[in-house]
Each structure stands twice: as structure tokens, then as C-alpha cells.
Amino acid sequence: MRHNNKPLGTLNLTLASLLSLSTAMAFAHGDVTPQAVDTAGLTQLGEEWVDENPYRAPYENQELAIKIGDSAYNQNCARCHGLEAISGGIAPDLRNLEPGIDGDEWFKYRVINGAVRDGAVYMPRMADYLSQEALWAIRTYIESRREN
């Protein structure tokens, strides 16, 4: 058989190639492995997790924490939680976390434990990949983006 003067085998091969290419493009959206974060200049916190964000004001290097957190957030969190901490609806808008220790408690729990529903990972355990310094810097950045 022929279609538009081409054998159907050629047409099928062309369609299969296009489908294969589009599938490959769908999976080529970038590296989803958490990216390392340089926390030089921030007070190092050690292995034991602190309960409250140590980089919140009146921390003397809060602006550095925000800068580090901005970069870390946009490399590691934005693909789900939205650019500049503004959710597009895929995942919660983190700017709405409670301020202070109440929000810190939830943030700490979630980055340590991640989120799994019905066996599907909704959020990886980020503390397996990023230091608490990096994660508290991200929290500091998110707080700086909070709308009044």
C-alpha cells in the first residue's frame, strides 16, 4: 500500500521515529538530582538538627543566608514549588508556611522525612542530599519571599 506516494512502511517508520524523539524529549527535562550547595560564610551547625531556623534575623549574615537560599531553592525546589518561591500549583506554596518556630517544625519534618503517598514519592527526603545549613538557608530565602 501507498500513502501520498510513499510506502506505508516508510510512513510508519517516520511516525515511530517522531514518537521516539518526543518521548526522549519528555524525559530530557534536566537533572533532578539535588544539586550541591556551598554554605561557606554561614555558621556551621553540625550533624544534630537544630529546632529553629538559626539564620533568621537577628542573625548577622542573614542576607548571605538569603542569597545562598535563593540559589539553592532555585536549583533544588523550584521545579515543583515554583520559581522565586511562587507555586504554580504542582506543590504547596512554601511562602504560606507559618512564620517562626511553628513553620520551622513543619519544614524540618518535611525535608528530613519527605512525602510519600500510596507508595509514590511526592517529595524526596532532601536532608539525605543537602546539609541542614543549606536547608535552613532555603527556609530563610522562602521567608524573605513571604507576602505580607
The model carries a pTM of 0.77
- Separation between Cα atoms, residue 44 and residue 81, nearest integer Å: 26
Q: Which residue has the cell 507559618?
A: 98
pLDDT value of residue 108 = 98
Query: Would you put residue 5 in left (φ > 0), alpha (ψ -120 to 50) or beta?
Result: left
Q: What is the pLDDT of residues 12-41, one digit of tens each?
A: 554 444 444 443 433 333 456 788 899 999
Averaged pLDDT for residues 46-66:
97
Dihedral (CA of 119, 120, 126, 128) sign: positive
Under 8 Å between Cβ of 127 and 115: no
The answer, yes or no, to whether residue 54 has pLDDT greater than 90, is yes
Under 8 Å between Cβ of 41 and 61: yes
pLDDT value of residue 5 = 60
Q: Give Cα 28 to chain centroid, integer Å.
A: 17
Q: What is the pLDDT of residues 114-146, one digit of tens each?
A: 999 999 999 999 999 999 999 999 999 999 998
- Separation between Cα atoms, residue 77 and residue 138, nearest integer Å: 9
